[in-house]
Amino acid sequence: MTDFYEPIDDEHLLAGERCWDLRTERIYRACGEPLDDCMLQCRAELLELCGFIREKRIRSYLEIGIWTGRTVSALHRLFRFDLVAVCDHRWAEQCGLPIVVPEGTRAFWGDAGSEGFRQFRESLGPVDLVFIDANHSYRGVKRDFAINRAYPHRFLAFHDIAGSVARKTNGVAAFWRELDEGHKREISRPNAAIGAREPTMGIGLWSATEVP
């Protein structure tokens, strides 16, 4: 049986996958939305997240806010999770882009703050890593934290903790700064693909019981 957690060159394996690059940046600056079918991630941060997944031997993964599904699809291709699940209100499709998720994905298409999502989340049981990249307002991310911490998990991750005002993510940064319980780790790197000198996204890892 293949050990998906042995040291592997993730950069090579992800070379064919587009992350947020100059094309995405230009689209975003032109219309205020990243209307691009790619992973809305900084590649350096994504690679560090892959290292974390290997180190902690993550076997179940829930992504809340998937855009077109590129990130969850790439991660599942690399790690072949025992459980892969998503929640999204299908905003990308309303913007004219396709959404594709891995075969066998358990999906909830709707609001992550709804009673329907709570029932869905309960049905999943324990989840090793919950990646939250949905409502970027302060109230929205605080709500998502409160909901998801109530269900069995090992780690919660928050995307866009760098809090770029230009990207309307300063609410996530404010929440992350004030989160003063549990164990925290930051993955924060400049996006070389757009020539950034400072991080514009960032991933925050949190656990009540484990050191990320």
Q: Is 198 exposed, middle or buried (0-12, 13-18, 19+ CB in 10 A)?
A: exposed
Give residue-wise pLDDT tens across range 131-156: 999 999 999 999 999 999 999 999 99
CATH among 3.40.50.150, 3.40.30.20, 3.40.1690.10, 3.90.45.10 for 11-207 = 3.40.50.150
Distance CA 155, CA 128 (A): 6
Domain ranges of the chain: 11-207
For residue 72, how many other CB atoms are within 10 A of its CB? Answer: 25
* pLDDT tens-place string over residues 74-94: 999 999 999 999 999 999 999
